[in-house]
Structure 1
């Protein structure tokens, strides 16, 4: 057999393993666990929203939090993290206009050395929130809109199943052509890296959370020492989940119904920045991991279509068949995620092209890091000492 045939067969073997041995990561059936009977007493909840220059999306997200029909006591703390676009003022205006849950807008000032901006804002907001004695904290991003019964369903799932952290992967926007190409793959790759079933097992084999929507038991947060123990984390959601797990907390992560991001990423450049700002941090800024990741992405996602075309052109049946079979398995595992986003199945064979984009974004992230640019977001750059952390 030719060397191309061996590559194609290797890729096919990897895809068979991914299909059957990676926690069925490609399935989209991990939704909020059964909630059972309503609790006799609904616990008090504080919602903490870190926000930096979010005036463009706040009118679509904040009213959904203020309008929660939660049966117990709840209040919202929006942490205005040095915004220059009137985010704090707009939040107060929206509260007056829409009513609903009480809103408190606080400002922590610039982060101290050794803190990322978001975690500094969360630290300040969580401290203010804990003064009211909430049993749960809902940590949610400023661009996330929640269905009216979202908080009630989260709390019911946590109390009914003895969970300390319940996180939902928000449905991202897929309005533009580039969003439809890149966004579903973003969630697909995340699930492949952190299979939800493995996270949600009684004896977990993986740990992660989705930072856009995290319901956290307050006493567990205190026991885990968050956010202080993850203060340098660029990828803070996974670090938060690991800190909770180390403290003995039980975690659940799944796809969301009724939790949606309203932030637009209309062009490729917008999506590129979103991925590249933290891709190399995910690899802990280690060149060997970068090389291994690039090689792995090439073998798993690029070899199948290349082998299929090359095998057909050269009359190499083994290469063409193995490459085509690997490509078919790949596309088949992608279809459920496309359906989750309401997109047609014919897009599934395009996944190798999307994977190539992610490969280039990851390389660009590494180049930016070694040029001293680091992870840039909202006018702040985190380089050097800031990394993917599982807790300190």
Structure 2
């Protein structure tokens, strides 16, 4: 009996993983499909005024590839760009003015908000300053976009048409991230895949659905809805500000749409594993609401869903326990099949899809590292700033 107990554990674990994957395949909003794209919408008879708000901190390295694409927007209505230089030390603001003088296009205003007060993240403090400047122009829509995001010439036109035609208060696109280095190819498609698994895009736009999320690199927001939802003041401490924004909008009865982007691309490179590690670990524990209990459950869930299948296959083959190998192989096959569309979306070879268990193990370690960093006082760090969890701020107040 002692010899069969470990075998039973492997078999039952593999069976549990397969059940989980069948549920994810059919019951999690078809998250694995990559056909949720910007709805075409009907172009309005009169194009509403739009202000573009770009928070930027030490972005001189990417600004030449991104800012000119905003200034060159082919938008039929009135539009202008507000870049908020958030305490940069690399000449971001001066470079932005120089690019505007050289390239022309939409009017550019560069603002400086000063250091954020306690309880504010730097990005949201910069967004607040940008929205305050923009409101003087009385826009109907605000486009909140990051400094590393390049837009196709018709991006703003298509976003506004989708929002006005579909009656959405938020239209957000998950920017296409860069996949040039070996580690980017391995990690980036999985990043988008995991995000879609947590927040299935189809559910977000469904009327009455509680699922809410946006992609912070590209968020078109109706200005009156922003005022009604008190954005960004109501989410001023949020590290994962895009999800918080979508929840705030849904909280006041607004409608949100999120999908994969065409013509909205991140130009920020993450060439080394360490760069990608920091990108994920800085906010992973915040995603779990800084809860040790949720961290434990997440680690156990990741292990069961992603790591058990290959382990069961290996153990089953080595010990001749064919039920374990068959169940683990079936779970691994379903996992690979759900990941393959995202791999193709990023133009990567098919054989990267079966490597998802390895990539998931990296994400598991990144999540644990995020918690360790937080408890050492180095969590949620970004460009020289470290943010406490919201309840800690409340305790200090």
Q: Shorter-chain-normalised TM-score: which range?
A: over 0.9
Using structure 1 for the length normalisation, give the TM-score: 0.97
- Do structure 1's residue 25 and structure 2's residue 40 form an aligned pair? no
User: Residue 4 of structure 1: which of 7, 10, 20 is its match?
Assistant: 10
User: Residue 75 of structure 2: which of 62, 70, 73 is its match?
Assistant: 70
Match of 2:335 in 1: 330
Q: Residues 386 and 61 from structure 1, CA distance in 2 versus in 1: closer, same or farther, beyond 3 angstroms?
A: farther
Report if the CA contact (8 A) 1:31-1:256 is conserved.
Answer: yes
User: What is the Cα deviation at residue 200 of structure 1?
Assistant: 1.3
Match of 2:296 in 1: 291
Match of 2:3 in 1: none
Report if the CA contact (8 A) 1:207-1:242 is conserved.
Answer: yes
Report if the CA contact (8 A) 1:265-1:271 is conserved.
Answer: yes
- After superposition, the C-alpha distances for 1:337-357 in whole angstroms (9 at most, x for unaligned) are 011101111110000000000
Match of 1:354 in 2: 359
User: Residue 172 of structure 2: which of 167, 170, 184 is its match?
Assistant: 167
Report if the CA contact (8 A) 2:235-2:244 is conserved.
Answer: yes
- What is the distance in 2 between the residues matched to 1:77 and 1:205? 32
- Do structure 1's residue 202 and structure 2's residue 198 form an aligned pair? no
Moved over 6 A (4+): none
Match of 1:114 in 2: 119
Q: Which runs of 5+ in 1 are unaligned?
A: 388-392
- Do structure 1's residue 147 and structure 2's residue 143 form an aligned pair? no
- What is the distance in 2 between the residues matched to 1:177 and 1:3? 36
Report if the CA contact (8 A) 1:233-1:386 is conserved.
Answer: no
- Do structure 1's residue 255 and structure 2's residue 257 form an aligned pair? no
- Do structure 1's residue 189 and structure 2's residue 194 form an aligned pair? yes
Report if the CA contact (8 A) 2:286-2:389 is conserved.
Answer: no
Report if the CA contact (8 A) 1:234-1:386 is conserved.
Answer: no
- Do structure 1's residue 61 and structure 2's residue 84 form an aligned pair? no
- What is the distance in 2 between the residues matched to 1:34 and 1:84? 41
Report if the CA contact (8 A) 1:373-1:383 is conserved.
Answer: no
Q: Residues 29 and 44 from structure 1, CA distance in 2 versus in 1: closer, same or farther, beyond 3 angstroms?
A: same
- After superposition, the C-alpha distances for 1:25-46 in whole angstroms (9 at most, x for unaligned) are 000010011313x211000000
User: What is the Cα deviation at residue 203 of structure 1?
Assistant: 2.7
Report if the CA contact (8 A) 1:169-1:254 is conserved.
Answer: yes
Match of 1:390 in 2: none
Q: Which runs of 5+ in 2 are unaligned?
A: 1-6, 393-397
Over the aligned positions, Cα root-mean-square deviation in angstroms equals: 1.1
Match of 1:308 in 2: 313
Report if the CA contact (8 A) 2:66-2:149 is conserved.
Answer: yes
Using structure 2 for the length normalisation, give the TM-score: 0.96
User: What is the Cα deviation at residue 373 of structure 1?
Assistant: 1.2
- What is the distance in 2 between the residues matched to 1:232 and 1:285? 14
SS of residue paired to 2:390 = coil
- Do structure 1's residue 339 and structure 2's residue 344 form an aligned pair? yes
Match of 1:14 in 2: 20
- Do structure 1's residue 135 and structure 2's residue 132 form an aligned pair? no
- Do structure 1's residue 41 and structure 2's residue 46 form an aligned pair? yes
